[in-house]
């Protein structure tokens, strides 16, 4: 479905309360399950890891967040459950079912973690406790949150292991006794243990083999759809996300540079960075990539020294003069939004009435 | 006919028994050749033996039986022979951050190889040339830096420069881009392709990434549980895969339209290789066979011959009459 670009005022795109970038048209009366408004994260002394991210996710929706190391994607993931070190300065709002995670008291936060929202970490070997059995580790959140007896918790643990494809008799095994794929399955079972509404999966299949990756992705997709859980999946592999998630957000230098429906973005990426990322993983059979790997020259910007203008401009093949000075917020592009001067209507590109709005939204986000 | 740059002949590598398990047959009969100026991709899952095979190709692992040949000459394992050989065959490892010494600057990292090989004359020029061949230009700007001051892509270029400093004729790269970011991946692969064009380098690239093979390889060999199960021109293997394992690998790639064949079970165990075709317990084509089909006994009982190195081939009992 295409939207009229004129239908959205650029100001709303800076992250105002009416921003619903993710296909929730016609359902505005329902509160989104997760709503992030103008999130900023700064690490000491002046590393601006996240610079104004807004997104919303409805119940049962899945969103993939793509970007390279240092783009801020994992920082966003961790901030959703307030898992960042205390030295990080976080501002903005993160509403989980309407409640602001950033302003919760400690007790409430502990109740929300696991039960409302849980996280699947990247390295299952380092995220699991090596000296406790996987059964104990899955039982722990169940016992803490659901106030059930040990016996009921054991039964649920067995059912969870079964659901993720690890034989329930392995509940007494220690993490080192399992293969990498099985450990990742255990992580998923733990994330599901308290029946959360939202799962954040941070690179759940990085470091796994193709076949195990396919198994895990299939498992996650099935579980999420069955239980109508919302999911945010973080990865650097755009094609993995496009296969698993309804919507995609591409991050660069601490901001979302393109967001929209997965299929639409894969079919026609609007931001030059998204184009570069999607061609980095070639389609086998595509003559254009045969014996011709494509990549980006240069390195991502240093988060301590992000100057004016588009942060992607130094690496962008399509940059022009204005890109060096003008920073663009997300703007309607196709069925989604992209932050690039190229997607602006012509009148806006050459100093125009909309420019005032853009400047305002730029301020609001910085 | 010129001899291949690097060749494995009937290579077997068995690791001794451990923790009550039997011996691990990591490489269990492999013929594989890398022609002069050719790039071969060796594809397989973790535990299939591909890294062991790569290490054998650079003389780091001594074969249990069979031999490794460099330009037609069998590799000896006296320390002198190995040292001479290693000048010409260089190994690139997966994680450049781990491969570089954090206390060594770029110049010393690149100069280490030549120094060990006693190539002290013109060392500075040699390092400079290698750095610029690896795309670190101008070299002078990088020579004094330390690994932590470089990005992941630049670190991998330093590792590549270290290999190039010895003017090798073959590079064996074990997952050269697996730990790099998507945007850097293409740059490093292009560098490997460019080095082939400019220096005539041959390369064996070990990976689990089939897209990488499509990007840079002339020929693809697919390995499963210590054996090559399919081998041929990249276009043939990737676009018209014949072995059910290759077909399954390709079908689960994200963005593929075909119905995914998600193999069940865990990656294979080299201490317990199944009888008959070693892939049959996970094989979708075997599973689809009728229980009365006579070919089942072939799959479960008759071992397959080791594939030759010099011609495209597939190791499968069911290949003549594809099923489903």
State pLDDT tens for residues B123-133.
999 999 999 99
Domain ranges of chain B: 1-102+168-324
**Which chain B residues have a beta carbon less than 8 Å from that of A286?**
214
Is B121 at the interface with chain A, CB within 8 A? Answer: no
**Alpha helices per DSSP H over chain B:** 50-57, 79-88, 96-99, 106-116, 123-133, 139-143, 152-164, 182-199, 210-216, 234-239, 244-251, 284-287, 295-301
Q: What is the ipTM of this complex?
A: 0.80
**Which chain B residues have a beta carbon less than 8 Å from that of A267?**
none
Query: Which one of A69, A286, A295 has the shortest CB-CB distance to B190?
Result: A295
Q: How many angstroms separate the CA atoms of A214 and A211, rounded?
A: 5
Residues 45-74 of B with CB under 8 A from A: 45-46
The yes/no answer on whether domain A1-110+198-284+304-345 falls in CATH 3.40.50.2300 is no
Residues 6+ apart with CB under 8 A from B65: B10, B11, B12
Q: How many angstroms separate the CA atoms of B169 and B163, rounded?
A: 10
Q: Give the relative orientation of helices A150-163 and A134-146 as an angle to the nearest 10 degrees.
A: 120
pLDDT, tens digit, 9 for 90 and up, residues A42-71:
998 788 999 999 999 998 899 999 988 888
- Cα Dmax for chain A: 69
Q: How many angstroms separate the CA atoms of A230 and A119, rounded?
A: 12
Side-chain-side CA neighbours of A227 within 13 Å: the count stands at 19
Q: CA A126, A251, B151, A366 torsion: positive or negative?
A: negative
Q: How many angstroms separate the CA atoms of B214 and B205, rounded?
A: 12
Q: How many angstroms separate the CA atoms of A71 and A61, rounded?
A: 23
**Which chain B residues have a beta carbon less than 8 Å from that of A300?**
151, 181, 183
**H, E, C per residue of B182-203:** HHHHHHHHHHHHHHHHHHCCEE
pLDDT values of chain B reduced to their tens digit, one per residue, 324 residues: 678 999 999 999 999 988 778 899 999 999 999 999 999 999 998 888 998 999 999 999 999 999 999 999 999 999 899 888 988 999 998 888 888 999 999 999 999 999 999 998 999 999 999 999 998 888 998 999 999 988 888 899 999 999 999 999 999 999 898 878 887 888 899 999 999 999 999 999 999 889 999 999 999 999 999 999 999 999 999 999 999 999 999 998 887 777 788 887 766 788 889 999 999 999 999 999 998 888 899 999 999 999 999 889 999 999 864 443
pTM of the predicted model as reported, rounded to 2 decimal places? 0.83
Superfamily holding B1-102+168-324: P-loop containing nucleotide triphosphate hydrolases (3.40.50.300)
Residue count (chain B): 324
Is B249 at the interface with chain A, CB within 8 A? Answer: yes
| B219 closest CA partner among B204, B208, B207, B229 | B204
Q: Which residue does chain B place closest to A209, by CA atoms? A: B45
Neighbours of A4 (CB within 10 A): 7
Q: How many angstroms separate the CA atoms of A330 and A338, rounded?
A: 5
Domain ranges of chain A: 1-110+198-284+304-345, 117-195
Contact at 8 Å (CB) between B158 and B178? no
Is B154 at the interface with chain A, CB within 8 A? Answer: yes
């Amino acid at each position: 479905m295409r939207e009229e670009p004129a239908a959205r005022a650029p100001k709303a795109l800076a992250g105002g309360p009416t921003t619903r970038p993710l296909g929730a048209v016609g359902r505005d009366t329902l509160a989104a399950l997760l709503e992030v408004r103008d999130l900023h994260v700064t690490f000491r002394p002046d590393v601006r890891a996240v610079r104004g991210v807004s997104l919303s996710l409805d119940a049962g929706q899945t969103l993939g967040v793509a970007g390279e190391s240092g783009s801020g994607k994992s920082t966003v993931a961790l901030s959703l459950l307030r898992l960042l070190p205390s030295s990080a300065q976080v501002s903005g709002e993160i509403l989980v079912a309407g409640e602001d995670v950033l302003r919760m008291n400690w007790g409430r936060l502990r109740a929300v973690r696991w039960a409302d929202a849980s996280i699947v970490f990247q390295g299952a070997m380092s995220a699991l406790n090596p000296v406790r059995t996987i059964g104990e580790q899955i039982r722990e959140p169940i016992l803490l949150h659901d106030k059930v007896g040990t016996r009921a918790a054991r039964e649920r643990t067995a059912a969870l292991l079964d659901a993720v494809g690890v034989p329930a008799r392995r509940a007494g095994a220690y993490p080192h006794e399992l293969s990498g794929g099985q450990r990742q399955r255990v992580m998923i079972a733990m994330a599901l243990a308290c029946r959360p509404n939202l799962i954040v999966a941070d690179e759940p299949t990085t470091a796994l083999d193709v076949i195990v990756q396919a198994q895990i992705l299939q498992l996650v997709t099935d579980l999420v759809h069955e239980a109508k859980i919302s999911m945010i999946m973080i990865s650097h592999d755009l094609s993995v996300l496009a296969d698993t998630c309804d919507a995609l957000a591409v991050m660069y230098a601490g901001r979302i540079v393109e967001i929209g429906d997965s299929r639409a973005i894969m079919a026609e990426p609007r931001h030059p960075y998204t184009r570069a990322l999607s061609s980095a993983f070639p389609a086998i059979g595509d003559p254009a990539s045969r014996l011709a790997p494509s990549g980006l020259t240069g390195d991502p910007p240093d988060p301590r020294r992000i100057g004016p203008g588009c942060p992607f401009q130094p690496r962008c093949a399509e940059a022009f003069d204005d890109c060096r000075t003008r920073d663009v917020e997300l703007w309607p592009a196709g069925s989604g939004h992209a932050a690039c001067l190229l997607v602006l209507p012509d009148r806006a590109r050459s100093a125009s009435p909309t420019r005032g709005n853009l400047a305002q939204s730029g301020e609001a986000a910085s | 006919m010129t001899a291949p740059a690097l060749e494995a002949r009937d290579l077997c590598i068995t690791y001794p028994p451990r923790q009550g398990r039997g011996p691990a047959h990591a490489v269990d009969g492999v013929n594989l050749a890398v022609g002069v100026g050719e790039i071969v991709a060796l594809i397989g899952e973790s535990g299939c033996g591909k890294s062991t095979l790569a290490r054998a190709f650079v003389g780091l692992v001594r074969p249990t039986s069979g031999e490794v040949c460099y330009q037609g000459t069998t590799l000896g394992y006296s320390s002198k022979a190995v040292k001479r050989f290693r000048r010409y065959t260089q190994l690139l490892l997966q994680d450049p951050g781990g491969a570089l010494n954090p206390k060594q600057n770029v110049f010393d990292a690149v100069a280490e190889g030549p120094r060990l090989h006693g190539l002290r004359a013109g060392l500075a020029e040699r390092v400079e040339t290698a750095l610029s061949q690896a795309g670190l230009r101008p070299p002078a700007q990088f020579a004094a830096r330390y690994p932590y001051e470089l990005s992941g892509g630049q670190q991998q270029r330093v590792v590549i420069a270290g290999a190039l400093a010895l003017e090798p004729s073959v590079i064996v790269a074990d997952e050269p881009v697996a730990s790099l970011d998507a945007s850097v991946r293409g740059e490093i692969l292009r560098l490997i392709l460019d080095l082939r064009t400019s220096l005539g380098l041959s390369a064996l690239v070990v990976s689990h990434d089939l897209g990488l093979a499509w990007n840079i390889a002339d020929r693809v060999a697919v390995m499963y549980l210590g054996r090559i199960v399919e081998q041929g021109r990249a276009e043939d293997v990737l676009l018209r895969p014949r072995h059910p394992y290759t077909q399954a690998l390709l079908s689960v790639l994200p963005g593929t339209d075909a119905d995914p064949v998600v193999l069940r079970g865990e990656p294979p165990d080299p201490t317990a290789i199944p009888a008959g075709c070693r892939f049959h317990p996970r094989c979708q084509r075997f599973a689809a066979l009728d229980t009365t089909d006579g070919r089942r006994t072939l799959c479960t009982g008759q071992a397959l011959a080791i594939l030759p190195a010099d011609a495209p081939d597939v190791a499968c009992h069911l290949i003549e009459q594809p099923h489903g």
